[in-house]
Structure 1
């Protein structure tokens, strides 16, 4: 199978997983009765890391969709003109931004996982309560979103390695970087 098709499929899966995770976090809310007459609604805006994660996931998904569009347009141009061009500048751009996006998504998900662990277990020394006892569905949905995002991180690492391959094949001899 062609590496361009594999990369396109993986980018589509990454975008789909990131958008799913962002929607799960963004539209998740739960109202719980805290005291006899006091109720509290948990939303993604209650924790700053969830707020940031939603926008980073959307930005990373948008980047992957834009890359898909660029690759599709270049593929159609090559078919129409039947030419073999060297797009080193595009390969460098894709490689560097893919690295940034992969690390950015990983860092944001790791910070969110730490915050979710504190919400699950609490922190006695800082007087933070266990929030997942009161907001069980909210915490379960955030956990599902984090699983989607971590799968997207793993797929983004594969996409990043494929973009590294497409970059470094421009600088190697014909027989060195050939996939069979």
Structure 2
């Protein structure tokens, strides 16, 4: 009976690692795509005759922050992905206490990365909406009427960023599952017997 439960947990852990690895790879791709679309987006237009204006991500500091945060999130996911590849390669699993501590660390870091990624994408979207609608009280004109290609590319980058944030939320829930499977289902935060 105990051997069958251990075998089922091993299969479940292997499936969870593969799923998490695939989701992390997708998240890396989307974060890099977001950073490239937003960070490299520029458009130059002549305004009022001879005055030339160039729109870049530097115009909205929230976009610069988005590029930085998505680059860090991609790097974090790459580190986590390499950890799973190394663990899968050696097939030697550390003691349960180490695995539990590692699960806590992964869970907390995944939660933090998911929330920071979502908040940064939301702040960038809010700043971008101000660029679309303008504000007559603050004397800010609508930028997307002038720089349409720039705004469409920023919108595509924000869409990729929100998809990456959604994937990070799913990864975070898998991390929560991986952590709390070490604890008893009958008593609150009591470890399962080994």
What TM-score, normalized by structure 2, do the two folds share?
Answer: 0.84
Q: What's the CA shift for 1:156?
A: 0.7
Larger radius of gyration: 2
- Return structure 1 stretches of 4+ with deviation > 6 angstroms: none
1:85 paired to 2:95: yes
Matches within 5 A, 1:1-180: 2-78=15-91, 81=92, 83=93, 85-86=95-96, 87-172=99-184
Q: How much has 1:77 moved relative to structure 2? A: 2.1
Count of aligned residue pairs for this structure pair: 170
For each residue in 1:2-36, what CA deviation from the matched residue of structure 2 results, as whole angstroms up to 9, or x when unmatched? Answer: 11111000000011101000000111100011110
Name the Cα RMSD after superposition. 1.3
CA distance in 1 between counterparts of 2:155 and 2:161 reads 10
Return 5+ residue gaps in structure 1 as ranges. 174-180
Shift of 1:84: 6.3
2-structure distance, mates of 1:113, 1:154 = 15
Residue matched to 1:178: none
**SS at structure 2 position matched to 1:164:** helix
Q: Secondary structure at the match of 1:49?
A: helix
Alignment TM-score, normalising by the size of structure 1: 0.91
